[in-house]
């Protein structure tokens, strides 16, 4: 390995996503140590240079594939409504805490720097989430979650912060009640905003200025009045003192991405820095493979190191680095190469 991942550059995060930086008074970065900045440089370097190192820099571990909403744009909703089962072969189950404990314990001293606790489900539904956050924080990792914040009670906010949560990303898809509730089916606009507000208050009271907060909204390509929507969204979350505001382009379920143009030399940067551990222990390379066509190992039976350095994952990296991402059906059908050509 070692070829330059074409089209990617220093500072690259994701082709499908951009965010507004935090204003100075809300900026959490100055409150983090130099080791955090080194970690982020390594994140960019691995993606840009196509260098995987000996161990993932980051693990995405899914505490559960259960969810309390049926969001319109979510692949999980699509699979439930169409009766598909490949995304959840064991049904709706929570991650076994002893498997989680084994993964975290065996990752100490390996170069792992962060975990994000979620994939297809809502992490707050795992009854032992604060304990999971504490285990990772005690192992010296940056600990992140994405959440819809529906179950983020004031008590749970305090427990997660006390356990060592360092980054929380609120998924909130419109500044307007009617539109939000039509997209995030099952959520109550006012209650979710109140939950986010109480998290922000707890963070302030606990003096945790190094904790990153972000609200993210999925955009529709080509929507009318987008600039006005964005500015209302920014105002809503700036008033709550959420540090960062992100906008992402969606993957449209059912769309044939293989028929859309994408760079022939596309190299997926995530292959070199992260590994996804699903709620049943099977592992995949990315958040684009909901259908589990790219399983590269089983954390219940193999170590993370074996999976990261194993032939299945190496083969995938070799295909991308030699300009053959389209030879892999899951990557050919994936939205990410196409979305790298359009901007959010």
Q: Of 62-70, 229-237, 249-257, 331-339, which part binds ligand SF4 (CB under 6 A)?
A: 331-339
Q: Minimum CB separation from ligand SF4 for residue 332, in Å?
A: 8
Q: Of 5-13, 161-169, 224-232, 334-342, which part binds ligand SF4 (CB under 6 A)?
A: 334-342
Q: Closest CB to ligand SF4 among 143 and 321?
A: 321
Q: Is residue 337 within the footprint of ligand SF4 (CB under 6 A)? A: yes
Residue 283, beta-bridge partner list: 277, 297
Q: Minimum CB separation from ligand SF4 for residue 150, in Å?
A: 27
Q: Closest CB to ligand SF4 among 166 and 335?
A: 335
- Cα–Cα separations (whole angstroms), residue 246 to 18, 20, 26, 171, 316: 6, 6, 15, 9, 30
Q: Minimum CB separation from ligand SF4 for residue 213, in Å?
A: 26
Q: Closest CB to ligand SF4 among 161 and 339?
A: 339
Q: Closest CB to ligand SF4 among 280 and 289?
A: 289
> What is the C-alpha separation between 142 and 134, in angstroms, rounded?
11
Map residue 25 onto helix, strand or coil.
helix
Cα R_g (the chain), whole angstroms: 19
Token couple for 198: 């109480």
- Phi, psi (deg, nearest 5) at residue 272: -110, 0
Q: Minimum CB separation from ligand SF4 for residue 285, in Å?
A: 5
Q: Closest CB to ligand SF4 among 168 and 331?
A: 331
> What is the C-alpha separation between 284 and 274, in angstroms, rounded?
9
Total of chain residues touching ligand SF4, rule CB under 6 A? 13
Q: Of 89-97, 105-113, 199-207, 333-341, which part binds ligand SF4 (CB under 6 A)?
A: 333-341
Q: Closest CB to ligand SF4 among 135 and 330?
A: 330
> What is the C-alpha separation between 324 and 316, in angstroms, rounded?
9
User: Exactly one of 107, 330, 339, 340 binds ligand SF4 (CB under 6 A); which one?
Assistant: 330
> What is the C-alpha separation between 180 and 176, in angstroms, rounded?
6
Q: Minimum CB separation from ligand SF4 for residue 216, in Å?
A: 18
Q: Of 50-58, 94-102, 108-116, 323-331, which part binds ligand SF4 (CB under 6 A)?
A: 323-331
Query: Rule CB under 6 A: which of 250-309 touch ligand SF4?
Result: 268, 270-271, 285-286, 288-289
> What is the C-alpha separation between 338 and 264, in angstroms, rounded?
10
SS (H, E, C) 77-136: HHHHHCCCCCCCCCCCCECCHHHHHHHHHHCCCCCCCEEECCCCCCHHHCCCHHHHHHHH
Q: Minimum CB separation from ligand SF4 for residue 153, in Å?
A: 34
Residue 248, beta-bridge partner list: 17, 218
Q: Of 83-91, 166-174, 211-219, 327-335, which part binds ligand SF4 (CB under 6 A)?
A: 327-335
Give the residue ranges of DSSP H helices in the chain.
34-49, 75-81, 97-106, 129-138, 154-163, 177-183, 189-205, 226-239, 304-309, 311-321, 329-332, 335-339
Q: Minimum CB separation from ligand SF4 for residue 100, in Å?
A: 23
Q: Is residue 120 within the footprint of ligand SF4 (CB under 6 A)? A: no
> What is the C-alpha separation between 29 and 244, in angstroms, rounded?
12
Contact letters for ligand SF4, residues 60-79 (x by CB under 6 A): --------------------
> What is the C-alpha separation between 188 and 183, in angstroms, rounded?
11
User: Exactly one of 203, 334, 338, 339 binds ligand SF4 (CB under 6 A); which one?
Assistant: 334
Q: Closest CB to ligand SF4 among 270 and 280?
A: 270
Binding site for ligand SF4 (CB under 6 A): 268, 270-271, 285-286, 288-289, 325, 330-331, 334, 336-337
């Amino acid at each position: 390995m070692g070829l330059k991942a074409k089209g990617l550059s220093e500072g690259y995060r994701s082709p499908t996503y951009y965010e507004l930086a935090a204003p100075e008074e809300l900026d959490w970065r100055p409150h983090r140590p130099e080791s955090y900045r080194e970690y982020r440089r390594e994140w960019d370097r691995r993606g840009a240079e196509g260098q995987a190192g000996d161990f993932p820099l980051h693990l995405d571990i899914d505490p559960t594939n259960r969810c309390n909403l049926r969001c319109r744009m979510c692949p999980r909703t699509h699979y439930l409504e169409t009766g598909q089962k490949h995304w959840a072969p064991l049904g709706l189950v929570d991650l076994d805490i002893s498997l989680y404990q084994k993964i975290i314990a065996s990752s100490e001293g390996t170069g792992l720097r962060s975990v994000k606790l979620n994939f297809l489900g809502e992490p707050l539904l795992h009854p032992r989430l604060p304990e999971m956050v504490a285990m990772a924080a005690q192992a010296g990792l940056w600990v992140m979650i994405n959440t819809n914040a529906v179950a983020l009670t004031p008590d749970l906010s305090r427990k997660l912060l006390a356990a060592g949560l360092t980054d929380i990303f609120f998924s909130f898809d419109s500044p307007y009640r009617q539109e939000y509730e039509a997209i995030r089916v099952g959520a109550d606009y006012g209650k979710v905003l109140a939950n986010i507000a109480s998290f922000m208050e707890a963070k302030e009271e606990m003096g945790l200025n190094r904790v990153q907060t972000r609200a993210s909204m999925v955009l529709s390509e080509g929507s009318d009045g987008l600039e006005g929507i964005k500015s209302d969204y920014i105002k809503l979350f700036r008033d709550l003192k959420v540090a960062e505001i992100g906008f992402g382009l969606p993957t449209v379920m059912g769309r044939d991405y293989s028929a859309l143009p994408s760079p022939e030399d596309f190299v997926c940067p995530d292959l070199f820095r992260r590994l996804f551990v699903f709620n049943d222990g099977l592992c995949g390379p990315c958040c684009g493979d909901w259908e589990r066509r790219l399983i590269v190992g089983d954390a219940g039976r193999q170590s993370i190191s074996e999976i990261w350095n194993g032939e299945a994952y190496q083969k995938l990296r070799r295909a991308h680095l030699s300009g053959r991402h389209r030879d892999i059906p899951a990557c050919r059908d994936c939205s990410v190469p196409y979305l790298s050509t359009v901007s959010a």
